[in-house]
Amino acid sequence: MTASDQTAELNPALAARRLTPTFNVFGLVRRGIVYLLLSVAAFVSVFPFLWMIVSSTNTAADVLKGKSTFGDALWNNIVTFFTQVDAPRIFWNSAFLAIVGTILTLVISSLAGYGFEMFRSRLRERIFNFLLLMLSIPFAALMIPLFIMMANLKLINTYAAILLPAVASIFIIFYFRQATKAFPAELRDAARIDGLKEWQIFLFVYLPVMRSTYAAAIIIVFMANWNNYLWPLIVLQTNEQKTITLVIQSLSSAYYPEWGVIMVGTILATLPTLIIFFLLQRRFVEGMLGAVK
């Protein structure tokens, strides 16, 4: 036995170090592979975004030829896009639906989630479990009766038809109930002892504490509303009401799509969600953590 082996045996820190794989060649190779795979994944994930930006500066023919360098058709594409469609109008339509929809959904569904967790009763548990079962009902099964219903209520081509079925979201109720489990009950009890009414507790104690949860919910709901396609496709049939998602889809299904112009629209359709995501990113991860616990 050599002297160094003996030291290793005597010194637990050194022994532990020998076991750590990062210090041998095998570990280095493994880390290399991990970095390589992650880099490939990151490149694949980001490439379509770059493609979108590059293509918006090219002509339709160049996009189809796979030209992946910047061209000089950007201004032309922008002008064509703004003359072909009423861009400010459709952008506003999308924004209105997404913002109003997000606010209403958060108010109604977070109250419900809070209520289910804070005021438990056997009946409420039953209702909640029933709602969880309903979570797995696909939209396709609701689409037809909802459409007939909206037609009977004369709500086709109104924003109410989009908002009404969406604002009570089982997923968001479930999400808020899960997150509320982490809300300290002592805080609520203390507030009650201080004489706060229930609505005050919700507004002034619960809301500020659950900031991260709300941020994550805002991202989820805003994106879902902004990106909604199938239901608006069915109930919004006039051009003045169409959302940006509907418009770029119909542009792209033309027989000879003007790809460069469509890319301008696609960028406009992607920017808001991208900005919201980057603004709220840190809170988003925190909020998800709270809900999965």
Partner 1 sequence: MPALVLLGLFMIYPILWSLWMSFQTGRGMNFSFGGFANIVRLSQDPIFQRALGNTFTFLVIQVPIMLVLALLFAVALNDSRLWGRGFFRTAIFLPCVTSLVAYSILFKSMFANDGVINDALLTIGLISEPIPWLGDPFWAKVVIISAITWRWTGYNMIFYLAAMQNIDRSIYEAARIDGVPAWARFWYITVPLLKPVILFTSVISTIGTLQLFDEVNTITLGGPSDSTLTLSLYIYNLTFKFMPSFGYASTVSYVIVVLVGILSFLQFMVARDRRR
- Binding residues for partner 1 restricted to 89-128, rule: CB under 8 A: 108-109, 111-112, 115, 127
| Ramachandran class of 195: left when φ > 0, alpha when ψ lies in -120 to 50, beta otherwise | left
User: Considering the complex, what minimum distance in angstroms separates the CB of residue 190 from partner 1?
Assistant: 25
Closest approach of partner 1 to the CB of residue 66, in Å = 4
How many CB atoms are located within 10 Å of the residue 75 CB?
Answer: 9
Could you tell me the CA-to-CA distances from 77 to 12, 58, 59, 66, 71 in Å, in that order? 67, 8, 8, 17, 11
Residue 165 to residue 163: CA distance in whole angstroms: 6
Residue type, position 92, single letter: W
Does position 49 interact with partner 1 (CB under 8 A)? The reply is yes
Could you tell me which of 102, 84, 138 has the C-alpha nearest to residue 215? 102
Cα separation, 52 vs 121, in Å, equals 52
The region of 78-86, 129-137, 182-190, 197-205 touching partner 1 under the rule CB under 8 A is 129-137
Verify binding: residue 34, partner 1, rule CB under 8 A.
yes
Identify residues 68-87 at the interface with partner 1 (CB under 8 A): 68
Contacts of 51 (CB under 8 A, 6+ apart): 68
User: Is the CB of residue 180 less than 8 Å from the CB of residue 114?
Assistant: yes
Question: Per-residue contact track with partner 1, 210 to 239, x per CB under 8 A?
Answer: -------------x--xx-xx---x-----
- CB 176 within 8 Å of CB 110: yes
Q: Of these, 245, 261, 264, 280, which contacts partner 1 (CB under 8 A)?
A: 245
* Least distance to partner 1, CB of residue 82, Å: 18
Nearer residue to partner 1 within complex by CB, 3 or 199: 199
Binding-site member from 14, 29, 79, 142 for partner 1 (CB under 8 A): 142
Please identify, among the stretches 2-10, 74-82, 160-168, 200-208, the one whose residues bind partner 1 according to the rule CB under 8 A: 160-168
Stretch that binds partner 1, among 76-84, 184-192, 200-208, 243-251 (CB under 8 A): 243-251
